[in-house]
A and B are shown apart, each in its own frame.
Chain A
Amino acid sequence: MIRVKNLSKNFGPVKAVDNISFHVREGEILGFLGPNGAGKSTTMRIITCFIPPTSGTVSVGPYDIFSHSRNVRQIIGYLPENAPLYPEMRVYQYLAFRAGLKGVPESRINERIEAVMDMCNITDIRNKINGHLSKGYRQRVGIADCMLHEPRVLILDEPTVGLDPLQVKETRKMFQDLRQKSTIVISTHILSEVEMTCDRALIINKGKIVAEESIKDLTEEKEVIMAIEKPEGSTLEEISTAIQSLVQVAELKKSEEEGEYRFEISCKGVKDARNALSLKAREKGWRILELKSTFASLEDVFQNIIEEEDGTDVNSIVGT
């Protein structure tokens, strides 16, 4: 649906986007992930024809952003960062204005506005003045505006900023419903959001794509934590050798605490190592204190990738 090829954008000497290429399939939800200033918004602005690229091309559906800019804008619904609204207009009036601009037929404007207001739960604030709305409501008006003309592509720059947890949940559900009709690109720096909403994540840093994988692939590595009561006669080494023979271990961290051995086992290729471990434990007579499996979180992945890239500590960024 969206094809980005060798896209670059320079602001003077600053390379905001540096030769990136990717494509988004129809019906997919793509998460655009990266620290602040990574070039997410710039890429989105180029796709929506707000600013031209320095080099490279983008096509949305059958249309190219240079030669068919108007058609591109016709099939895209775009929510810029911070959801800017005209502060003096009322919600309904604003949506009607936007519908007019987007070429929604006169006879359908009312129906469309009611539909999007219903989807975004803003029907009861229809006569409020935009400028008086809270951040969450403004964000929702912005999202409603995006969907007015039933676009085939939705491009949302940080859509869940300012929403409370309940609203975030509703919004995610809305995206899942929308995927029947639309392709969605979401940018965010909140990792859990990508994890929960998107099919695929594109991690971008300093204008370059540093990872492009499906969420499943990104979080495929699993870790099993096992803690057992210190068995008599067996040393830590012996037990870890036993574990290593049992499953294919990528990495094994072991530690000894008062009265217990603790292992953190990263497995390779195995779906779940817990079953094998518990059988072994019964056989050997280990007393299991704790046995749990954890997914490597996207946070860790993101952190690893970005650290690999520039060798800096990104904890501060991820923490947001």
Chain B
Amino acid sequence: MPSSIRAIWTIFAKELSSFFTTSVGYTVILGYVLTTSLFFLLILKILSEVSSIPPTQRPLSIFYKDYLILFIFMFFASILSMRLFAKEKETGTIEMLLTVPVTDWEVVLGKYFATVAFYAVCISPSLINSLVLFRPEIAHNLMKTIILPTLVFLPLIIVVISWVSPKRTWPVLAAVLAGIFVFVVLLRGFHFDRITQRIAFIPDDQIDSDNDGMSDVWEDMYGLDPARKNAREDPDGDGDYNFKEFVYGSSPVDPGSNLTTLIVKTVQPENVLRKGDEDRDKDGIPDKYEKWLGLSAEDGSDALADNDGDGDSNLLEWRYNTDLTDAAKNLESKFRGHLPIKHIVKKDFRDKDNDGMPDRWEESYGLSSSEDDGGIDEDSDGYSNIEEYHYRTDPTLSESRPSLPESKAWFLHIASYILAAGLFVFISYGYSARQEDRISYLLKYGGVSCIVLTAVIACVFIFLPSSVKTGRIYSLFLFWGFVPFFAAVTCTLSRLALLSRSRLNAAAVSIFLFLVFRLFWAFFIAEKAVSQPDVGITLSGYTGGLLVGAFFIAVGIFFSSLFKNQINAAVVMFAFLVILFLTQFIPSVIPSAEPLKPILDHYSFIRLLAQFTDGNIHLGNLTFFISAIVLFLFLTVSVLGIRKWK
């Protein structure tokens, strides 16, 4: 029926635009982007502590398996949907809405779809985050694109809103946020680079330009050629080829360091003993096992002896669970060269002091591996140790420094100070001056100067010799080119908005542009830097996130139709969602509810989400969500039908 589609569309368009003409939309988007970004940083930190993402662990599932993200979803769904009917009742507009020739279903569906669409807009920027996780090796590059834009653009956008919004609360918020930002910038200089590098350190070391499985850093360290495939070669002739030595962390150029020696070295009494195990003779095998293995609990020398004479010590055989008394069963026969990686410490990338530089690299240049010396400039050539590490230059020789001296420090610092100073001026004017002419004057020249800056950056980039245009420089320029470009766009839009007097719409447009740019940009870098991310699984995961959100919103719209006050509605609907979430723990608290456990487990949000994030869209799960949504929409329509309020 075209007429009902038109009615739904009219309500949909109005509701969606009212998210942006009231402060709700901005608040939710900014809040959501901030929370998920912070949350994402935590996850990235966790991930950076393991050497690589296990193949069974999908990046999104790490994100979604955490209960916290569900609460974030619930919270934002409540905020978004609380106003739908409760506010109409508060202001009395419900009477206008329900006395026009549209049906209750049309009203409910229009409002519902608008909220779900807005919710989808909210979660889409986080696509970038999952993209980062798919390709840990570009985590570092993208970290810059997430932290910096958030910190740079947030105050900028709020400043713009403060000009265009009629309310006085925004300028105060903007001034506070921007003040914090400028303070941080001036205090620390622009050292975000270093911070991000530390958080995302290990993925950066997996850059492997010849694609032979061994990282460039590692090959460099041992004087192998990082640009040639040499994984199968064995330069030291110790029987283990380079890739194997890379994986297990022995030296490819030292015949005395191969897998066997490494294992023997690693499996030492002091290394294998776990906390809490009683071991009187300090030989590495706990007392409770010694008797069972036929060894003495008092004699410390029997661990390193070899009872069956197969070449592996008792300790080693116990550790890897082979027979101590059978010479035919030793490590070699059990693993046939494929030792489990988790038992071996990856010595090369161990970073005791957590300063972003591996101990081995530090030791080879005589730097301390036990204190954080990343920021120190050992040879006083203007580059800190960590910067030299990333450019593979010698931190102790001032002649050896990054090959593009001006590119980084010069550019970064000048640009950051210009930006900071510009922000100061903009903010102080935006806060103090409410006169439109002064603002439009500022916007005009701010816009023009930003365009000039963009052009200058673009020119510098174009005329750079192609030999230095590496991925790192590429993203650096992209980023610093985008900041003034975006500022120019924002200024221009805001000025147009001032002229056309539809200010809030323009603010909405600039926020959208911001989101789209951010998305587009990340994809662009991802395309440049690495191969394709797994699109299917990402989309499946997001379908799950969207469905859960859509369900929460359906619950929200129902509660909104029950209450006359927005806050009451939000509180009750959030409580309801939390209780719904907690039902899955009922069997573990009340033993008599045990028979319910399979059902509750089957429909727990966490499990449902996990299925989606693993790339499985089950028809059953889809049906469950859709019928639950339809149920709550039906309840909403029924509530409207009763219309008991006066």
Contact = CB atoms under 8 A, between A and B. Distances in A.
Contacts of A98: 96, 100
B51 interface: no
Interface in A47-73: 48-52, 70-71, 73
A88 B18 contact: yes
Nearest to B10: A100
A87 B23 CA distance: 13
A45 B99 CA distance: 9
Interface string A127-143: 10100100000000000
Given A76-B99, A78-B99, A84 B643 contact: no
A119 to B, nearest CB: 19
Contacts of A50: 95, 98-99, 643
A271 B272 CA distance: 121
A70 B646 contact: no
Contact of A82 (B6, B10, B92): B92
Contact of A103 (B3, B96, B103, B166): B3
Given A88-B18, A89-B21, A70 B10 contact: no
B20 to A, nearest CB: 9
Output the residue of A80, A86, A102 with the most chain B CB within 10 A: A86
A45 B21 contact: no
Contacts of A48: 99
A49 B165 CA distance: 38
A89 B93 CA distance: 12
A127 B98 CA distance: 25
Given A51-B643, A80-B96, A70 B6 contact: no
B540 to A, nearest CB: 36
Contacts of B103: 70
Contact of A127 (B21, B97, B501): B501
Given A45-B95, A103-B3, A74 B646 contact: no
Interface in B103-141: 103
B333 to A, nearest CB: 76
Interface in A85-143: 85-90, 97-98, 100-103, 127, 129, 132
B91 A80 contact: no
B382 to A, nearest CB: 54
Given A80-B95, A84-B95, A85-B93, A70 B18 contact: no
Output the residue of B10, B95, B501 with the most chain A CB within 10 A: B95
Contact of A101 (B18, B100, B501): B100
A11 B646 contact: yes
B101 interface: yes
Contact of A88 (B7, B22, B98): B22
A81 B11 CA distance: 23
Contacts of B99: 48-50, 73, 76, 78, 80
A101 B21 contact: no
B92 A84 contact: yes
Q: How large is the interface on B (under 10, 10 to 19, 20 to 34, 35 or more residues)?
A: 20 to 34
Contacts of B3: 103
B17 to A, nearest CB: 8
B638 to A, nearest CB: 14
Contact of A84 (B13, B93, B101): B93
B646 A101 contact: no
Interface in B61-119: 91-93, 95-103
B601 to A, nearest CB: 44
Contacts of A90: 502
Output the residue of A45, A81, A101 with the most chain B CB within 10 A: A101
Output the residue of A71, A89, A100, A145 with the most chain B CB within 10 A: A100
A104 to B, nearest CB: 11
A71 B101 CA distance: 7
Contacts of A74: 101
A76 B98 CA distance: 12
Contacts of B10: 97, 100-101
B343 interface: no
A102 B646 CA distance: 24
A52 B502 CA distance: 40
Contact of A102 (B14, B95, B100): B100
Contacts of A76: 99
Contacts of A101: 7, 10-11, 97, 100-102
A90 B22 CA distance: 12
A45 B92 CA distance: 13
B95 A89 contact: no
A103 B10 CA distance: 10
A76 B101 CA distance: 9
B114 to A, nearest CB: 13
Contacts of A45: 95
A100 B6 contact: yes
Interface string B298-327: 000000000000000000000000000000
Contacts of B95: 45, 50, 78, 80, 84
A52 B92 CA distance: 18
B101 A102 contact: yes
B96 A73 contact: no
A103 B5 CA distance: 11
A132 B501 CA distance: 15
Contacts of A88: 18, 21-22
A101 B102 CA distance: 7
A87 B91 contact: yes
Contacts of B92: 80-82, 84
Given A89-B14, A90-B502, A101-B10, 7 more contacts: A11-B646, A73-B100, A78-B95, A78-B96, A98-B96, A101-B97, A103-B3
Interface of B: 3, 6-7, 10-11, 13-14, 18, 21-22, 91-93, 95-103, 166, 501-502, 643, 646
26 contacts: A49-B98, A50-B95, A50-B643, A51-B643, A51-B646, A71-B101, A73-B100, A80-B95, A80-B96, A80-B99, A82-B92, A84-B92, A86-B14, A86-B93, A88-B21, A88-B22, A89-B18, A97-B14, A98-B100, A100-B10, A101-B7, A101-B97, A101-B102, A103-B3, A129-B166, A145-B96
The 10 A-B pairs with the shortest beta carbon distances in the complex, nearest first, are A84-B92, A100-B10, A74-B101, A73-B101, A80-B95, A88-B21, A101-B100, A48-B99, A84-B93, A78-B99
